[in-house]
Amino acid sequence: MELQLKQGEVHVYLAHGDKPEWPCAECGASCALYDHQPERPWRHLDTCQYRTILHASPPRSECAQHGVRVVKLPWAEANSRFTALMEGLAIAWLKHASQKAVAEQLGLSWDEIHGILERAVERGLARRKAEKIPYLGVDEKAFRKGHKYLTLVNDLTRNRVLYVAEDREQRSLDGFWPTLTEEQRDSIEAVAMDMWDPYVDSVREHVRETDKKIVFDKFHIAKHLAEGVDRVRRREHKALKAEGDDRLTGTKYDWLRNPATMEGEQRREFAQLRQSELKTARAWALKETAMAFFNYVYERPARKHFHWWYNWAMRSRLQPMKEVAAMLKRRFDNIITYLRHQITNAASESLNAKIQWVKYTARGYRNKQNFINAIYFHCGGLDLAPAPTK
């Protein structure tokens, strides 16, 4: 050991005693010592306030089958410049603080912190078991501004992100299926998603009996209906204003809100508005009635409700609502699947909060891959610790 007080460092030099046999790093068979690699350093946990560095010349053994290999070191994974305890510490901190903060506190460079995170994710993904995944949610997330997207596959049962890919194309989702075993693929009972054809096509190509399994997200449907209402409102507002009628002024968000969350005066005012003869009020009633579909338990009455609603919408003479109704009719086979599976594609609130946090602390991310790794790290439900610490 060497104590360098001025530099604030402790250097520990490791050597081994006489040992004729060494296990092959590949198969574990006892082999003869071949030689030693040149000495190299590993950053270890600090000793008191001193940065602590281990030094060693790793032995290499010669296996009849695998040739000359560096033996497994008890303090570090292969190719790491940190001891497993040090990496474990960085990983534990990374779960709670931004990459920038951890790098600063532990005296690590960007490359080092990214390397630790990337290895942790690789390790975690490799350790994943092939559990059943009955309910999946395919979700898109905007990555920074400028409409760059990521595709996320959520395991709705275990509340974790299974897969992240760039863009929201068919190929983005296509990459997910090969990560599953045949059994896992057969265990899929339903996949929730937005009404987005590239995703539909990918599921169709990779999952059996897709038609019964795709469930269009009810919040995505609600969004389309709300947009329809808003288009009706904008048009009507313009016409009314031209006649000096400002009833619709400042009401945009009232039509999007749940009236149950309104209070007192506001609630009474809105009630008057939505019971009026306004077109916007009719569009709003159409939206609310359409969403009542999702409260049905049985398919037959639900079908009847939709059929009746669809005819009402088509007779409404409200063009935006007619357009939404036509779309919902076209998509209906994968809307009614909701009643059986009752799933939406959104990650749970706790998972979403984590993703938001990853986005929020993403300022230091140099590229999308680092952002993707961070999602796996925080939301993948992975076992991340380096092996030798166990």
Question: What does the binding site for Zn ion look like in residue numbers (CB under 5 A)?
Answer: 24, 26-27, 29, 63, 65-66
Q: What is the DSSP letter of 76?
A: S
CB of 70 to Zn ion, least distance (A): 12
- Minimal distance, residue 20 CB to Zn ion, in Å: 17
Instruction: Write down the least CB distance from residue 14 to Zn ion, Å.
Output: 24
Nearest to 93 by CA among 118, 113, 119: 113
- Closer CB to Zn ion, 65 or 261, in the complex: 65
- Closer residue to Zn ion (CB): 65 or 109: 65
Q: How far is the CB of 168 from Zn ion (least distance, A)?
A: 45
- Report helix angle 319-330 to 279-291, nearest 10: 20
Contact between 156 and 187 (Cβ < 8 Å): no
Residue 390 C-beta: closest distance to Zn ion, Å: 23
| Residue type (1 letter), 33 | L
d(CA 13, CA 334): 65
Shortest distance, CB of residue 122 to Zn ion, whole angstroms? Answer: 23
Secondary structure (3-state) at 22: strand
Task: Rank residues 68 and 271 by Cβ distance to Zn ion and give the closer one.
Answer: 68
**Exposed/middle/buried for residue 379 (C-beta within 10 Å: 0-12, 13-18, 19+):** buried
Minimum CB distance to Zn ion, residue 33 (Å): 14
Cα Dmax for the chain: 99
Select 27 or 326, whichever has its Cβ closest to Zn ion.
Answer: 27
Helix (H, G, I), strand (E, B) or coil at 326: helix
* φ, ψ of residue 222 in degrees (nearest 5): -60, -35
Sign of CA dihedral 117, 123, 126, 127: negative
Distance CA 190, CA 195 (A): 15
Q: Which residue, 68 or 387, is less far from Zn ion as judged by CB?
A: 68
CA distances from 46 to 12, 54, 119 (A): 12, 11, 22
Determine the Cα–Cα distance for residues 235 and 227; give it in Å rounded to an integer: 12
Closer by beta carbon to Zn ion, 71 or else 225: 71
Parallel, antiparallel or unpaired: strands 9-13 and 50-56: parallel
Whichever of 32 and 130 has its CB closer to Zn ion, that residue is 32
Question: Which CB sits closer to Zn ion, 26 or 35?
Answer: 26
Q: What's the min distance (Å) between Cβ of 30 and Zn ion? A: 10
The pair of structure tokens assigned to 142 is 């905007």
